[in-house]
Chain A
């Protein structure tokens, strides 16, 4: 079990954003969490990624309850076990693709030479080995998102959390990114995609529907039942 949420709630003041989420993700899964905007899915991603602490319930990553961890230990969990992919890519404009990818391991205590080597491998894995020395400004939107995915993968995290990874891309480029996610899934990566796009979600092996802070449907659970 890579990721396990049990009765997770999150409230901001009087507003309950997550109202008791139970979710288990196994190693090697490719899961879509789908829901309209305001359903709480982004908050769910932040809670799963330990960027936000839950108000109640338990979040376990690789079996470790993250509730009791200090800021330092949580940062360590993010550095080693979680890779993020964002809708806006968040690449550094002043660094090359390879440097951006290498920065994915900056805080994981890996020496610079290893980071460079692993960055080259990761870029190769997303099909951008020939763009290693390009700065983001010289890359297309799809290429930038591939760089961001390579950065998320470079540290071989337990799970990759992708927040609307195709949201800033046209449908053809977005489709290519989904294909890439499938390939990475096929080679063993655990990936969790958050989206409001049902078409995209329907192409994933497992879909979890979120509405008003609750899980209202889980294709995996249905299949199991």
Chain B
């Protein structure tokens, strides 16, 4: 006679209900293992989603062309006309550029020793720089046509921190190249142009007038030259632009131009994100194995303790198979309870952390479904030996105890 499912479930839960603390503790190992696995997979997926969303926002169509080294190993320069030439390419949407003002250093006050440069680079910047590299302002304003000619500077995120600026108030100044520059604003971190973070940016005219950053063009001194070009290409023609960028920027010696695609680094990071997961997944699997041993152990003890119950059930008409099913189901129930709690804990950890980081919450189906499935399989394996033992127990022997 087969037991109905409801009866089967009730019989399987007898042991769990009778010893709740023991059930809790033996399910805990499984819960920890499953929680670790779900959290690791959930967090890595969420952070990957976060990174991909970031890449999406920043765009993958930004290329940089910077002055590299000449054959002799000297620092090379880009021609002053490079931005205009690159801008003439059909597939290029916009070009911004910066020029390294190598002689100038920036300090909070003139009293700071000259050697304490904080490794901050002073750069002249074209006015469209923030929009091309997709960096917003954290504080204050970016340069405009007027301020670009005046001793006015915008600080990169890291540079601001090193100089001790947290907010921008009118009248704040930095000591730049032996004179005061007013601070107009602070940039956000520029994910695609991280060199800007540790820079102080001024307008090209200001760099020419106040910092003597000049190039000679047709015998006259003009601001420049640019050191790095930031090029937004039409998305489907990025490769084509990349191929001709060096020649276009510096037709005379294209080998002196370094070309890169900054989003490559982010994409590589997204791909590498899962690399250290395996360590935590391994720890989760170890916790699962330890948990499985715990459940098997508890089930064997349980069978020994409940000999009289087993004998009674046989006397009431339970078949060997029904006794076996009862204990197998009890083990699976234990591990599934643990697994469910573990999935919940892992998901909560993922949601809390991901929201904290501003990521979209992604828990892969394989993670939670796999966690539950692993719990079922572990329960079946852990419960097999105890269940077979319980079923093999002769009813008279089982009844003889107490």
Contacts and interface: CB of A to CB of B under 8 A. Distances in A.
Interface of A: 43, 46, 49, 51-52, 71-72, 75-80, 82, 84, 86, 88, 90, 92-94, 103-104, 106-109, 111-112, 151
Interface of A is mostly: helix
A175 B244 CA distance: 109
Contacts of B316: 78-79, 84, 103-104, 106-107, 151
A108 B322 CA distance: 12
Interface of B: 1-4, 6-7, 11, 14, 17-18, 308-309, 311-322, 394-396, 399, 402
Nearest to A115: B7
Given A88-B402, A92-B309, A93-B18, A79 B1 contact: yes
B402 A78 contact: no
Given A72-B321, A88-B402, A108 B309 contact: no
Given A75-B320, A94-B18, 8 more contacts: A76-B317, A78-B316, A92-B14, A94-B17, A107-B322, A109-B1, A109-B2, A151-B316
A75 B318 contact: yes
Q: Which 3 A-B residue pairings sit nearest by Cβ, starting from the closest?
A: A79-B317, A107-B317, A109-B1
A106 B312 CA distance: 12
A151 B313 CA distance: 12
B57 to A, nearest CB: 59
30 contacts: A46-B395, A51-B314, A52-B394, A75-B1, A75-B317, A75-B318, A75-B320, A76-B1, A76-B317, A78-B316, A79-B1, A79-B317, A79-B318, A80-B317, A84-B312, A90-B308, A90-B311, A93-B18, A94-B18, A106-B11, A106-B317, A107-B3, A107-B313, A107-B319, A107-B322, A108-B1, A109-B1, A109-B2, A112-B7, A151-B316
Contact of B395 (A43, A51, A79, A112): A51
Contacts of A88: 308, 402
Contacts of B2: 109
A51 B1 contact: no
A107 B18 contact: no
A92 B322 CA distance: 18
Given A71-B319, A76-B1, A106-B3, A51 B399 contact: yes
B17 A75 contact: no
Contacts of A103: 316
Interface-central residue, B309, B320, B395, B402, by most chain A CB under 10 Å: B395
A91 to B, nearest CB: 9
Contacts of B319: 71-72, 75, 107
B391 to A, nearest CB: 10
A86 B314 CA distance: 13
B2 to A, nearest CB: 8
A88 B3 CA distance: 26
Nearest to A47: B396
A212 to B, nearest CB: 20
Interface of B is mostly: helix
A80 B4 CA distance: 17
Contact of A71 (B308, B312, B320): B320
Among A76, A88, A106, the most chain B Cβ lie within 10 Å of the Cβ of A106
Given A107-B322, A109-B1, A75 B14 contact: no
Interface centre among A51, A52, A72, A80, by most B CB within 10 Å?
Answer: A51
Contacts of B14: 92, 94
A86 B316 CA distance: 12
Contacts of A49: 315
Nearest to A93: B18
A84 B1 contact: no
Nearest to B322: A107
A46 B396 contact: yes
A80 B317 CA distance: 8
Contacts of A43: 396
A77 B319 CA distance: 11
A93 B15 CA distance: 11
Contacts of B1: 75-76, 79, 107-109
B4 A107 contact: no
A106 B309 CA distance: 14
B226 to A, nearest CB: 82
A72 B323 CA distance: 12
Contacts of A80: 317
Contacts of A46: 395-396
A107 B402 CA distance: 24
A75 B6 CA distance: 20
Contact of B396 (A52, A78, A104, A106): A52
A142 to B, nearest CB: 19
Nearest to B315: A84
B105 to A, nearest CB: 80
Nearest to A70: B319
A80 B7 CA distance: 18
Contacts of A75: 1, 314, 317-320, 322
Contacts of A108: 1, 317
A82 B316 CA distance: 8
Interface centre among A51, A72, A75, A79 (most CB of B within 10 A): A75
Contacts of B17: 94
B4 A51 contact: no
B317 A51 contact: no
